[in-house]
A and B are shown apart, each in its own frame.
Chain A
């Protein structure tokens, strides 16, 4: 690939605020891990790497009022983002052309764990409810600086920030943005400190990665952002690269939900892919910043992966987690900034606290060493085996391709020709069927307490023991969609979920709030991370390919589809399983309604479980699977952040033009009207301006509203196109009901006032 420039960086962690303090600590071996100081918890026995500021001190630095709603994750994110934007010379007026992609898993849990019982029992603190989810944290961080062109949130546990960097790079390579700010933020919470404790992987001493006596990790916190920029844009702006992103890889270990495989399959594949994409040989790598958590399991697995790839010539390796603690979702970008500092200042960061070699392990860098570095790898691995590796290089290493080399790589067509091979959903108590087309479901309770037992066709009772309803549905719909797609395997598994496994989150919060910090069940914690869904699907289908999860409010499914779309466009994948999964519980329904997040007016709060298999024409038309019978074509997709009528009109026009269509070809507009009066009124007004008198359809009155229900919208439209009719129950206005055969349906998802998406489907 053509390297992407990194023109700005910002970082906050236990070793300092900003790059100057960070560099000084790295060079002098000054660790930020120590006794617990800021988090309110009874677990004083665990050393942690806290950012040395209270929330109030962070607010003061950022000029945020004491009573403004914010979270520690958002505050740390703002501190790091401020430095990155200044570093790159980006001013607020430029942000409408800049993307912002952030990774977090904790989101606003620091507030939710304090106020959980208030959320349930009183009206106090209810204004924090809407700040609970990951996407809200990202938006709070972004809004402090202005209006970005594109905003979304990756949530793949400890590799979240690394995957945000990968998405940003794909976005630039597709030509969708010149500048994207990428990274992640995560504060320590009582929730995940207790969660890691329930997994018995926290060390009561400072962590010792790759040491024979290592006995677990120390938790840390922090944030870091990188400004990724195309070469043309940097030239235009007259800014220099601090380093290059030359390659990256993402693979799934597909082994276990919390443990890494003994041979480090996912880690090996991720590093190998990064090298291949960069066209760099293993011997050219000068340093690896390992994930190196200090748990017995990670360090064995990662050592094996490095030995498999580099054989007897493993380059110098260190884990910088003894400096910062494990900064979980932010570690990918924090450690990428450490790597950039190492490239700029020519040194190998030391692996503190190491003294005894472990059996079959690598021997890390045990003292800070001056060394000129050209290419370095930075690893970040997450629960569920969501493994990613970034290849960072010094700016002068950019290879200047000859004209012939450039021409020999024919870029893919602007719009990929995609097919929806299959789409499966389970809604409410309904089994996997298309019955809704004949008899619309009417229900008293919009979400299910138990689910249809059809999942048992796909999951054995012993496998189901740790799966809540969301996981059962996700695995069942994914397996069914794969089976009916006709494909044996897919090149990517991409999932969207607004709130993730909230049933397990609720169980864990209940126990934490009512019984205290003792005897917490590890199952509830491990099943509470958002990426559990996608990684479990990979484990169940033995799929090692690209695997990520998006958690960004009402555009979580859309973000997953956007990721797939860009990768299709880059020619990285030929098929993908894209899922949208959300569940609801009585307690969270009550909480979210109180917080004004959903359930306004006549809006029915529902659940989503939809899995869609997409494929390029290569599979369908070029003979490898001539028997495939696609449901429909996916001809266009576009996402907008804080749209205006003008940007929306432009987006519609561009999308139709790229697909070779005009508005006259569109038969129906499928809206996400949900019963929220204000939002529905805006839908009616906007669709009139955008699409004139096109007949309007809706589906949320049947399926309910959930954060990923736009996936259900895609499913509904695909079924209508395949069956060649639109059920009467979908028409918004009785006088628009017709038996016209649909040839082209445009989905307009306007999830809230901040985000929307457009999807064009044809028969």
Chain B
């Protein structure tokens, strides 16, 4: 009877040890998954370019006499003076050009080239991602906003930028629309030719105003989405930024 009981106890111990081992394995695998999976996901699908305003920044926004914060400095955000051209309706087929337009961004030289067919429309210096990399690949502009607000970062890196002018959001299968990467104007720094952004392509406001007018979808107001009848211009980003 005693032998029977001791064998029963041994069996139970072995069983509980086995359960503990299984639990340890499950815990370790879960921990690894919790660390590795988001990393893989973030590599494959970059997080939003502007961590605080990703949803908001995809909408048109203008604020009068607003204050911006960048690099721990407060500065006046220039007021957006909307003109008739910004809100005019467009008749497709008359304002569009049949020549294929293509924007190239060379991260290595921090230079943007805009071509219409074989003709160079623009060549200018830009600032790509410093605090978060600008994604590379082939993209399409899916929405143009005359102005929006962008904010993100924490601590010394916190930024809040109302009235960001001439914003052109681009996307592809790997970098979704909600990640909020764009080409846009810049009033808070002037260091073009050097990485300075949180992932977007920063341009001189005078340059991006011309590019915004030129690029598709053809602007049809303050917010213009691309469509089957009004396709967005292709954007190719390549090279490696000098970080």
A and B, one complex?
Answer: no
Chain A positions within 8 Å of B, measured between CB atoms, are: none
Chain B positions within 8 Å of A, measured between CB atoms, are: none
